[in-house]
Structure 1
């Protein structure tokens, strides 16, 4: 029996998840989309029909839902008979949606770590502050809860596990590099929800170095990378979700995350931060209104989903892994390249949302067929990576491996090993 699916959220990533799940609705059953704004859910439903994404005729319904309301979320899961819930709404929703899944027995998926609206950059490891506190409850209830099933976190976690298991006897370092070499033509915009996006860059930059947490400031450390397809790019040491699970689950002393930023982005970001516009703390206006500066900024910036029609260029995201194999030093770069224009032609998305949404849909399919239905809470690196990466390749995100200047698709390398 196919499991019904509930997608919570109606932004750019939810748009991708809905299209990709619709393309496999023969394996996923009914698809329901829920958000506070019903019209956004209805727009995604209309887009799925317009693009012809449904593999076979089936149920595709929109619902209004405040997912912070656990009782309401529980009721909707029961009403829709959903057995898999994909949470791609705000990161503030994670714990509420997870609780509703625990009450109903539905499997839970998300793509980003939980955050509290009034707190930025909690003590590492971040997962221990919220999600991991519910590990025992998930195991006791037999609920599958897969955390961080986007690209980063998500696919890069699978890349790390793949490297440790198949390419190295000992891994000394993993550098995760995320480059968006695309241009959207707007003066300034963020690729994800501005409120969540900016919060990533206003706190302490935590990295895992020498087997311990190391603190830095945003834009303090810059490095040039020579990458496949996108060429030479600058990236900055940044704190990010995947470090907080990989550091605990893999025996690797150095794990860092690097994100590409242009000078224009850094200049605008710096001005906004210095003016206090990136603050999550409320202020009172002269008229007596209480507002949160970051929420005001979100309201005036472009909706990330609106960037898709004009986006051009490519992304390159991957792991540079160094270590030892058979007594010799080894270095590989495991990566994916995604094209903004291709993403838009296929499902009306930009590549940033595409790379985050396709993995969540793939993870749902692996739960549905039992491969990842583990009956407990797990981060991606705790699950077998090859079924995930193979499925992603068939869904539009192929994995490549660069070694000694040669780039090969992972599938071809697997075939050569099998032969």
Structure 2
């Protein structure tokens, strides 16, 4: 049984991970959190104690580390006797942290695909550019590495696997729909790291259709969805991590990702992009200072973690899976609805961070007790989804299904 967790990162998602680890520290053991700014880690630990989140008395310590430095991360892993690393830092640090886990032989998980800060929207499949190149090394070292185990990617991958296992014999399409029907009250903000958020939307929109990669422009393809709780919502086909693993697992199916955007968001995004302010390439000012426009935009926007106290409304995220069973057409929508205010009351974070932060802790519990300790690199759809979704039901992210038999809770 693996014990002792090291959380990498100190943003809004890390806040949720910390609280949920504390609520399950009887299973997970000693807890540690590290980032470049140790005061942020200390503030998160303070919030855990303010909420009385520790299930049993135990260690929860803060550390300073440069997660881009594999050797430093490896040294911290050894120092803390960590068995499981939950990486919720910037997507730029994934490979250095994974390398440290391979070196030390501990379990690794993240919630988003690795990115090179100098590149945007690389050639698909994205996992093939970095993560999957380390599959053999993980297997040789007996390292469990669970990729993209947030909500999307993560839970939505488990929903696809559940649909394939239990509801749709021959899958023809998987449409992942992500709607945030909440309001944060700011004139404009992103719900997570602005740099990562904008990079996601400035490149080519890749989808897997008719057995091949299809390229579109951002906001080129839109569609309205009628969803539980949040109602009719306009969403746009967007490039996203899970398309790149699900298309490999279910190559016969069309795999698309759809995200909801308000007209206001699209207008602001378009102006910023057309002005060159979303570029990752450095420019030199008249005063001779070199700056990266995208980093300047990030610096002037609200910190996503600051949105939580005022956030209201709900999210709805799930998979519409179509195909045939016994030769007859079938369609299921497996989904979760989360509430921003409820998330803040429990862990001090808004709903977007909550949906991303609870799943890796559920995965850590399954690694700790051996259920998901597979000693190789996997994407979530390669694992049995039932114990994972069952844990999430009890940890604050219950799953539901809407199909020909109605709309009901899923029990595991």
The correspondence of residues 326-405 of structure 1 with structure 2, limited to 5 A, is: 326-404=326-404
TM-score, reference length from structure 2: 0.99
Match of 1:137 in 2: 137
How do 1:130-209 and structure 2 match up within 5 A?
A: 130-209=130-209
1:253-292 equivalence runs, <5 A: 253-292=253-292
Give a deviation string over 1:359-406, Cα, whole Å, max 9, x none: 011010000000000000000000000000000000000000001372
C-alpha contact (below 8 Å) 2:2/2:83 kept by paired residues: no
Residue deviations 1:327-385 (CA, integer Å, cap 9, x gap): 21101100000000000111111000000000011010000000000000000000000
- Find the counterpart in structure 1 of residue 221 from structure 2: 221
- Specify the alignment match of 2:63 in structure 1: 63
Say whether 1:19 aligns with 2:19.
yes
1:313/1:341 contact within 8 Å kept: yes
Shift of 1:251: 3.9
Q: Secondary structure at the match of 1:208?
A: strand
Q: Distance in 2 between matches of 1:300 and 1:43?
A: 22
- Per-residue deviation, 1:250: 1.9
Matched pairs, number: 412
SS at match of 2:342: helix
Deviation at 1:169, TM superposition (A): 1.4
Contact persistence 1:171–1:321 (CA under 8 A)? yes
Equivalent-residue separation in structure 1 for 2:176 and 2:252 (angstroms): 13
User: How far 1:253 sits from its partner (Å)?
Assistant: 2.3
1:35 alignment counterpart: 35
Tell me the CA shift for residue 165 of structure 1: 1.1
Distance, in Å, in 1 between the alignment partners of 2:189 and 2:135 is 36
Query: In structure 2, how many angstroms separate the alpha carbons of the residues matched to 1:388 and 1:119?
Result: 33
- Provide the C-alpha distance between the structure 1 equivalents of 2:283 and 2:194, rounded to a whole number of angstroms: 19
Q: Does the aligned pair in 2 maintain the 1:2–1:27 contact within 8 Å?
A: no
- The answer to whether structure 1 residue 236 and structure 2 residue 245 are counterparts is no
Rate the CA distance shift 1:133–1:51 in 2: closer, same or farther, 3 A. same
Please state if 1:94 is matched with 2:94.
yes
Q: Distance in 2 between matches of 1:71 and 1:327?
A: 55
DSSP 3-state at the match of 1:335: strand
- After superposing on structure 2, the runs of 4+ consecutive aligned residues of structure 1 that deviate more than 6 Å are none
* Corresponding residue of 2:120: 120
Q: CA–CA distance in 1 between the matches of 2:15 and 2:405?
A: 36
Residue 85, structure 1, aligned to residue 85, structure 2: yes
- Give the whole-Å Cα distance in 2 for the aligned partners of 1:37 and 1:369: 32
Tell me the secondary structure at the aligned position of residue 14 of structure 1. helix
Q: Does 1:211 align with 2:211?
A: yes
After superposition, give the CA deviation of every residue in 1:72-130 in whole Å (9 maximum; x if it has no partner).
10100000000100000000000000000011001000000000000000000000000
SS at match of 1:82: coil
Measure, in 1, the Cα distance between the counterparts of 2:52 and 2:263.
Answer: 40
Residues 121-167 of structure 1 show CA distances to partners (whole Å, capped at 9, x for unaligned) of 00000000000000000000000000000000000000000101111
Q: Is residue 2–residue 367 contact of structure 2 (8 Å, CA) maintained in 1?
A: no
Deviation at 1:2, TM superposition (A): 5.6
Q: Secondary structure at the match of 1:323?
A: strand
Equivalent-residue separation in structure 2 for 1:327 and 1:248 (angstroms) = 24
Q: 1:294 to 1:405 in 2, by over 3 A?
A: farther
Secondary structure, aligned partner of 1:362: helix
What is the TM-score of this pair, normalised by structure 1?
Answer: 0.97
Q: Secondary structure at the match of 1:200?
A: helix
Deviations 1:16-51 (CA, angstroms, capped at 9, x unpaired): 000001000000111000000111101100000001
Separation of aligned partners in 1, 2:320 and 2:405: 13
Distance 1:200 1:230 in 2: 24
